[in-house]
Chain A
Amino acid sequence: TQLLEQSPQFLSIQEGENLTVYCNSSSVFSSLQWYRQEPGEGPVLLVTVVTGGEVKKLKRLTFQFGDARKDSSLHITAAQPGDTGLYLCAGERVNTGNQFYFGTGTSLTVIP
């Protein structure tokens, strides 16, 4: 069983549409990261959230950390083909030696 579950697993949308990706767990995390990864490349850090209820914006991307620090969401407004990729959340658990745990991943395709 994966510690962090992402939904949806796959998403194919038209350019200009909005979308939300969810990252959920029953565990508490001291911080959570979102990455975007293109095929054959390493994950690129988008954001780190650390405070319960925190909202961060990066151009058309909005990230939210749940109040209880067990979940997070990524919302993309007016998706563009350049947003295509694998989106990964990764959490740093509290009181477990601060090991990082990855979500199950969401593969996004934005069709021009």
Chain B
Amino acid sequence: DTEVTQTPKHLVMGMTNKKSLKCEQHMGHRAMYWYKQKAKKPPELMFVYSYEKLSINESVPSRFSPECPNSSLLNLHLHALQPEDSALYLCASSSRAVGGGNTDTQYFGPGTRLTVL
């Protein structure tokens, strides 16, 4: 099973709202990722968690706040977003922790389509 699930599928929020995106995997993967993607562009890395600890933050604005409650779950808390934050938000997981040996492969969830009004 190589499934990563994400909820909700679609989210519309105002600039003053607080919402959260959720991601779950049951593959025993040790690394989890958040990406932002605009139409017909490649995904842009936002955050990486390794062994439930934040290992990479790609200078993401503080209005995006990641959380990894346990090895299977990854959340992205959203607050005071801007219309330009509207995008497809993708979660991914991979088996090896960042910095580990051997090769690795990322598996992606279906994404959350976020619209900020």
Contact A30 B103 (CB under 8 A): yes
> A62 within 8 Å of B by Cβ?
no
Contact B88 A40 (CB under 8 A): yes
Query: Which of A86, A92, A99 is the one whose CB lies under 8 Å from B45?
Result: A99
Shortest distance from the beta carbon of A55 to any chain B beta carbon, whole Å? 17
Contact status of A48 and B100, CB under 8 A, knowing A40-B113, A43-B90, A107-B40: no
Residues of A contacting B109 in the complex (Cβ-Cβ under 8 angstroms): 42
Contact A103 B110 (CB under 8 A): no
Per-residue A-contact encoding for B26-65, CB less than 8 Å = 1, 0 else:
0000000100000111110100100000011000000000
Contact status of A35 and B98, CB under 8 A, knowing A86-B40, A103-B42, A104-B42: no
Interface of A is mostly: strand
Q: Could you say which interface size class chain B belongs to?
A: 20 to 34
Question: How many CB-defined contacts (below 8 Å) exist between A and B?
Answer: 63
Contact A31 B98 (CB under 8 A): no
Which residues between 73 and 117 of chain B lie within 8 Å of chain A, taking CB atoms? 88, 90, 94, 96, 98-100, 103-111, 113
Contacts from B to A (Cβ < 8 Å): 2, 4, 6, 33, 39-43, 45, 48, 55-56, 88, 90, 94, 96, 98-100, 103-111, 113
Contacts from A to B (Cβ < 8 Å): 30-31, 33, 35, 39-45, 48, 50, 86, 88, 90, 92, 97-100, 102-105, 107
Closest 7 CB pairs of A and B: A31-B103, A102-B42, A42-B108, A42-B111, A42-B110, A48-B105, A43-B108
A-B contact pairs, 9 of them (CB 8 A): A30-B103, A33-B106, A45-B2, A86-B40, A92-B103, A98-B96, A98-B98, A102-B43, A107-B40
